[in-house]
Structure 1
Amino acid sequence: MKPKRPILIGGLLLASTIALVLLLEPEASLAKQIEQKHQPVTIVNAHTERYQPHVTLIGTTSARWQSELKAQSNAELIWLDDRLEPGVLVKKGALLAKLDKTALLAERDQALTAIKQAELQLQKEQHEQTVALKMLRSKSSSSYARKEPQIAAAKATLTQAKSAYLNTQKRLDETLVRAPFDAVILKRAINPGQYVEQAQRLFEIAASDSLDVVVPIGEQQWKVISEAFNKPHILVRDRQNQSWPATIRYVSPKADMTTRQRQVVLAVSKPYETTTRLLPNQQVNVEVSLSPTTNSIKIPASSLTRDGQIWIVNNRNQLTTESVTVLQQGDDELWVQIADTGNQVQASIQGESVHKIVVYPLLSMQQGLDVTPIEENYK
């Protein structure tokens, strides 16, 4: 009968163990359920670094002082510089073409004759006025009797004749077609021996010492780029990867009515004097070197919301948002600068500031929400 006692004790121990497991299992399940209530979010550790951004913008080249030289009178073209083809550079005052001035010489002589006749008529009226004033005794005589309107009309006729003479002389001078400034020939619209009419286009030219580059800038980039305009370092690069240094000519005082973008107009000096020319009406890349920043971070492109914000997980595993300024944008990553660091909760990893950036922010996220961060490898 004695062996039954150890069996009884072993049975009691087994029953106690099973009961203890059954009692503890609901608590573990409950803890697991509580832990699963926190929303999991994927994060990356973004280190705060010193960074000098280089922003690349899209611009369009535009000819400077593009204008047309037109004939000022009907005449035959008697001389044309045969070297004047599109792309040729000419200096200010260079003679481009000559028009026949025979008709204008005759017109000028006629205008000179009209001046002499007007002077003669004025002298005649002034002499008659002197005689009339001596003969008139009554002080109440009319102005017509005193020859006042006649003299005024003679003076007006003389003034008109002199203006006509000056106009003819000006058109006579313009029979010699000259470059008004240092220019590049964009188009030649005449041929030797051709008869041209007044206001007919002869040449299309543009300034050769400079070329404009129109660059639209969005509102998000404006704050960052405008600060770099104090000491700009700007390069204009074409599709052949040729580059030219550029300076700021002016900032448009109004935004585009359709896109609401600001426009900056750059100047490229002497674009036509190199072997590879920078031509008007082509799209170019504009590379702007900005000032170095000390609180910049590199984040995945997916982390930026439409409102220009990022979601950060603080050291209490709670969500918070921060507004950022985009410094440089790539295909899969962004360099941004956090606008306000006052609300950030930063950790220290190997002496560097680190932010837990949410990789895929959702519209359902809320400030202060408890989450379970899941770290993703990111370089």
Structure 2
Amino acid sequence: MTNNAPQSTSEGIPKPPGVGKSHARWLWIVISLITLFGVIFLLVMEEDTADITRTGTPAPLQLVSFEKVQTGPETLEITSFAEIRPRWSAELRAAVSGRIDKVHDNALAGEAVDKGTTLIEIENSRYVAELAAAELALKEAELELLKAKNANYIAQKEFERSSRKAPNDFALKIPQLEIAKQSVTSANARVRAARQQLEDTTILAPFPAFITRRFVSPGQMVNVGDQLLKLVDNTRFELEAEIGRREWNLLQKPFEGLEARITGQAGELIAQAKIRRGGGFLDEATRQYKIFLVIEETAPSKVLSGDFVKLSLPGITISEALDIPASSLTKDGYLWYLDSQDRLQRLEPLVLSRRDDRIIIQAPAGEHSWRFAITPLVSFLPGQKVYAREKEK
């Protein structure tokens, strides 16, 4: 007996490869996403609650050191900077031509010499001969003058004996006498010129100085105008300072003859300078007032030509001023002070003068005692409550 029932069409048909694996892959993706979202949720909840703490004690106040300053009179110092320059600086050149006969050890670069020190000698036989010839010409001119005077005397006596009047000057030999006088004057001038040329063969130091450079050597031929030596004064110095219009108004007047302090880069006192002149005109480039000072030195000291120094010029006296530490002034030009409740307050001062590590400002009206923060911080805020501590003296 045969079975005629219809068979299922799916029976005996194989499944496509990878169908079961695809369902498993999607299952793992879903599980991973659920796990990731869960971890993120837990982290967010942890961040929201981890730093939240409750305490019953307030945060400590910021410590601020202050210096107590009283309003009072202050004498200002106007500061400026200048270069120390020698009063005299010369480049010696040959006044005569010839061969360099001798260069003394004093003429070497770096040597200090006194006024009148012999530095270089030029061979002088030619100028000795010229001086001798000029002196001989002078003697001859003086002889001719004596002859002319004698001729004039004889002519006058002859007319006196004959009781006659000389018809003209020629009869009295007056023109010859005048020519003889002029010849003597000319011969004297030639002698002085020849003697000066002979003296110019010896090069002397015109003032106390340092030799900074030598241009010649023994045996070298030089002509008139050739460079020989360069030297600078080492006993007298000058300075030229510049100040603005506001500083000029704060300068003590009259200032001619007053002294100014000169300090070096490390703040050490170098010398005292005397104000010679100033204020007659403004510099064309900077439009500032110029002050001219002089240093009179008679002995070796710390003053060196070419040094760049700080000048402290005498200023006027301000009746209501404050002398505070320079560190109290911020880069923005403000001062922080403490009020009666130890709260920070800020003001913009008018700085009048600077003196070492201190500054002088115009005292604001209304208060006579101030407590200024010594080292203000960027974090300071107006009205901020702080813990104030006075600086130990």
Q: Which of 328, 332, 335 is the aligned partner of 2:360?
A: 335
Q: 1:268 to 1:139 in 2, by over 3 A?
A: closer
Aligned to 1:58: 81
* 1:120 maps to 2:143: yes
Q: Which of 274, 277, 288 is the aligned partner of 1:248?
A: 274
Aligned to 1:296: 321
Offset from partner CA, 1:68-98 (integer Å, 9 cap, x none): 3332322211000245333321122222111
Q: Which of 77, 90, 94 is the aligned partner of 2:113?
A: 90
Instruction: Give unmatched runs, 5+ long, in structure 2.
Output: 1-67, 335-348, 372-381, 389-393
Q: 1:242 to 1:178 in 2, by over 3 A?
A: farther
* 1:172 maps to 2:198: yes
* 1:188 maps to 2:243: no
How does 1:30-109 map onto structure 2 within 5 Å? Answer: 48=71, 55-82=78-105, 84-109=107-132
Aligned to 1:264: 292
Q: What SS does the aligned partner of 1:145 have?
A: helix
Offset from partner CA, 1:121-141 (integer Å, 9 cap, x none): 212222322343345554251
Q: What SS does the aligned partner of 2:167 have?
A: coil
Aligned to 1:318: none
Report how far residue 261 of structure 1 moved: 0.7
Q: Distance between the aligned counterparts of 2:258 and 2:155, measured in 1?
A: 78
TM-score (structure 1 length as normaliser):
0.62
Aligned to 2:11: none
Q: Distance between the aligned counterparts of 1:270 and 1:113, measured in 2?
A: 46
Instruction: Give the counterpart letter for 1:123 in structure 2.
Output: L
Aligned to 1:211: 237
Identify the range of structure 1 (141-150 vs 245-254) with the bigger mean alpha-carbon deviation.
245-254
Aligned to 1:162: 188
Instruction: Give unmatched runs, 5+ long, in structure 1.
Output: 1-44, 305-322, 339-343, 355-373
Q: How many residues align?
A: 286
- Answer yes or no: is the 8 Å Cα contact 2:106–2:112 preserved in 1: no
Instruction: Give the counterpart letter for 1:111 in structure 2.
Output: A
Instruction: Give the counterpart letter for 2:196 in structure 1.
Output: K
Q: 1:235 to 1:131 in 2, by over 3 A?
A: closer
Instruction: Give the counterpart letter for 1:66 in structure 2.
Output: S
Q: 1:77 to 1:253 in 2, by over 3 A?
A: farther
Q: 1:197 to 1:253 in 2, by over 3 A?
A: farther
Q: Distance between the aligned counterparts of 1:53 and 1:154, measured in 2?
A: 72
Q: What SS does the aligned partner of 1:86 have?
A: coil
Q: 1:78 to 1:288 in 2, by over 3 A?
A: same
- Answer yes or no: is the 8 Å Cα contact 1:224–1:327 preserved in 2: no
Q: 1:77 to 1:243 in 2, by over 3 A?
A: farther
Offset from partner CA, 1:237-275 (integer Å, 9 cap, x none): 24x77751232151236223521413132427379x46x
Aligned to 2:178: 152
- Answer yes or no: is the 8 Å Cα contact 1:300–1:334 preserved in 2: no
Q: Distance between the aligned counterparts of 2:152 and 2:74, measured in 1?
A: 90
Offset from partner CA, 1:269-321 (integer Å, 9 cap, x none): 379x46x87232x53332457688662136778779xxxxxxxxxxxxxxxxx
Q: CA RMSD in A?
A: 4.1
Q: Distance between the aligned counterparts of 2:195 and 2:352, measured in 1?
A: 62
Q: 1:247 to 1:302 in 2, by over 3 A?
A: same
Aligned to 1:235: 262
Aligned to 1:15: none
